[in-house]
Structure 1
């Protein structure tokens, strides 16, 4: 029996779905989930493994407090280790951390004004729930990783300027649900900009109301979403759970 099997299976599922949804970057980018009470011990993808091939048993168990982790023969990618260990140490509540360079979120991160406006109800879900980091200073190593880890500000989404997006959640299900809908929101906004037409932006009152409805009235939605994703993989790609 695999240690931390449920977290492994859930995380392996979202690796596979990141590929299916075109949100992966081949063997780059990284997902993790904390498995200890303080979140310092966490599972993360192995270095150099394509998202489409990751299985539950492939995930590495590491300790954010152990600086020697990077010297292990099976050490994770250096950027993955720096960024995820910094966040797991600093944010106990951030059990699952998903970082990708998904197409539309990355486009948004490259705009002079990278703020997602309350354009439709998906965009409104993230009203006042996105931290924006515009201090990009190279690959996420050392000081850069520590700086980024401070940028979450208690919000579930960190838009990393000129880089991509990072989502942190209390569970794998919640983190992936936020990642999925944030990318959909960015797609809507970027596509709307491409029309060249004036945008119909919701008022702060309506945007805040809609955000609260998403957060408060859809309890269990993320769990249902992940359950369906696993059911599809169980039929079509069951190796993810091995």
Structure 2
């Protein structure tokens, strides 16, 4: 049975949740700004502070560039709304949250998960060798990215176990023949991870399109570069870059 909110009644939300709503809606708009959207499909979720199993995700049907804090639906680990409201205002993409719920249920260190269907991300997801260590952007993910085989539209809850296993301890994953996934310990870190993963895919597609032979740094240099990206202060950099990016909005 549907439950409706009485006119003028606003759900009680903590200051921490409201900040998360503002940051997450800004992230949706930034994903639109950088042209990483796919109409009303793809999705971003964030854990509600102070909870183990409540999350915010987009109201299905709202375009990313118009997202506001109130357009985010609070759901549980099974994708069910946890606040009262009519069916339409609480609608979420069930297939989308299958992917997100897998990550959130197993990786409590991750706050935010982003999934995209960009042309370059899909292109690299279709290439057998995956992300190549040919650019500085790509080396951020050297030996630090998972791969998940395509199983069809993510409606089967059994797929969650394999998604978790294939992500492992990483913060990024390529969904074969599908798209990209990036996560972070903060919303800002998730934004940085998807931004540079997308840029790495763009560069790879362009580098391969000319047909010229590619140069590869040595494995030692690749690992050294990846470790440089993990330096102390990396999270501070993410927050600074995310704050700067929000001025684009």
Number of residues of Structure 1 aligned to a counterpart in Structure 2: 230
Structure 2, unmatched stretches of 5+, are 1-11
Q: Distance in 1 between matches of 2:164 and 2:124?
A: 20
Greater length-normalized contact order (CA 8 Å, ≥ 6 residues apart): 1
Alignment of 1:184-199 (within 5 A): 184-199=199-214
Shift of 1:206: 0.2
Alignment of 1:143-182 (within 5 A): 143-182=158-197
Give the structure-2-normalised TM-score: 0.86
Q: Distance in 2 between matches of 1:77 and 1:67?
A: 9
Task: Classify the secondary structure of the residue corresponding to 1:9.
Answer: helix
Shift of 1:118: 1.7
Shift of 1:140: 0.9
Alignment of 1:35-184 (within 5 A): 35-37=48-50, 39-64=52-77, 68-69=80-81, 73=87, 74-114=90-130, 116-134=131-149, 136-141=150-155, 142-184=157-199
Task: Classify the secondary structure of the residue corresponding to 1:33.
Answer: strand
Give the structure-1-normalised TM-score: 0.88
Structure 1, unmatched stretches of 5+, are 234-242
Contact kept, 8 Å, 1:13 with 1:229, in 2: the verdict is no
> Is the deviation greater in 33-42 or in 178-187?
33-42
Q: Distance in 1 between matches of 2:93 and 2:49?
A: 21
Task: Classify the secondary structure of the residue corresponding to 2:32.
Answer: helix
RMSD: 2.0
Q: Distance in 2 between matches of 1:149 and 1:91?
A: 8
Change (3 A) 1:146 1:49: farther
Higher helix residue share? 1
Max Rg structure: 2
